[in-house]
């Protein structure tokens, strides 16, 4: 009983404190602490991205393709690249980075203009990018076809479920009804 009494008193004191002038200074202090913690978390995320995770080159690569690479790339590639969503562009550039590193090229160096004074390397690398993008598009199309085929099979499985539900309803009939039906 005394515990309940102390809880009621604590709730009443908390209510009146929240309504008082002192609560406004506490609220502003809470807001300050929240904003500083969010800025610290942002800094920690930036540090983590720079040290551990690679930043996506999707934006810089799109910019390069529209600018310096405009004369080197075919029109269908440029229009396809420009039409990609942000996530699809990130996926493509990550796959392209992996592919180009296997070829001992660097997508970051291409975007930064390191190959500008090496026209033979630049043309070979750009040709490899165009060929890889065609295969990447074909692989995406095959994945989409496979996913749609899986989705088409799901409704057939759902058609079988109602029959199972009907049979479970029959089993749940009260015993009195089943005995009368048997008589």
What pLDDT does 26 receive?
58
What pLDDT does 167 receive?
52
CB-facing half-sphere around the CA of 59: CA atoms within 13 A: 2
Look at 7 and 170; give whichever has higher pLDDT. 7
pLDDT per residue as tens digits for the range 42-101: 666 655 555 555 567 888 888 888 888 888 888 888 888 888 888 888 889 989 998 988
CB-facing half-sphere around the CA of 86: CA atoms within 13 A: 2
What pLDDT does 19 receive?
72
What pLDDT does 135 receive?
92
Q: Sorting pLDDT into bands at 50, 70 and 90, what band is 125?
A: very high
pLDDT per residue as tens digits for the range 126-167: 999 999 999 999 998 898 888 888 877 766 555 555 555 555
The 8 Å CB, 24+ separation contacts for 95-100 are 95/136, 96/61, 96/129, 96/132, 96/133, 96/136, 97/54, 97/57, 99/128, 99/132, 100/125, 100/128, 100/129
What pLDDT does 155 receive?
60
What pLDDT does 143 receive?
87
Look at 143 and 178; give whichever has higher pLDDT. 143
What pTM was estimated for this model as a whole? 0.53
Q: Does residue 181 carry a pLDDT above 80? A: no
Q: Are 71 and 104 in contact, with CB atoms under 8 Å apart?
A: no
Q: In angstroms, rounded to a whole number, what is the distance separating the alpha carbons of residues 183 and 173?
A: 16
What pLDDT does 14 receive?
81
What pLDDT does 107 receive?
87
Q: In angstroms, rounded to a whole number, what is the distance separating the alpha carbons of residues 60 and 19?
A: 52
Domain spans in the chain, listed from the N-terminal domain onward: 58-168
Averaged over 10-24, what is the pLDDT?
76
What pLDDT does 134 receive?
92
Angle between helices 75-82 and 58-66 (to 10 degrees): 140
């Amino acid at each position: 009983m005394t515990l309940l009494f102390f809880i009621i008193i604590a709730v009443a004191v908390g209510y009146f404190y929240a309504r008082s002038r002192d609560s406004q200074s506490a609220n502003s202090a809470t807001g300050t602490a929240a904003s500083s913690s969010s800025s610290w978390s942002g800094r920690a995320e930036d540090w983590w991205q720079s040290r551990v995770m690679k930043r996506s080159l999707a934006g810089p690569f799109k910019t390069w393709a529209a600018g310096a690479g405009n004369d080197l790339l075919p029109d269908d590639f440029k229009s396809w690249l420009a039409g990609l969503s942000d996530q699809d562009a990130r996926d493509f550039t990550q796959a392209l980075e992996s592919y180009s590193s296997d070829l001992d090229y660097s997508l970051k160096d291409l975007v930064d203009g390191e190959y500008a004074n090496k026209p033979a390397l630049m043309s070979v690398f750009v040709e490899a990018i165009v060929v890889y993008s065609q295969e990447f598009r074909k692989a995406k199309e095959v994945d989409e076809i496979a996913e749609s085929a899986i989705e088409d099979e799901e409704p057939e499985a759902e058609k079988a479920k109602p029959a199972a539900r009907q049979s479970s309803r029959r089993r749940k009939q009260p015993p009195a009804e089943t005995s009368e039906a048997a008589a």
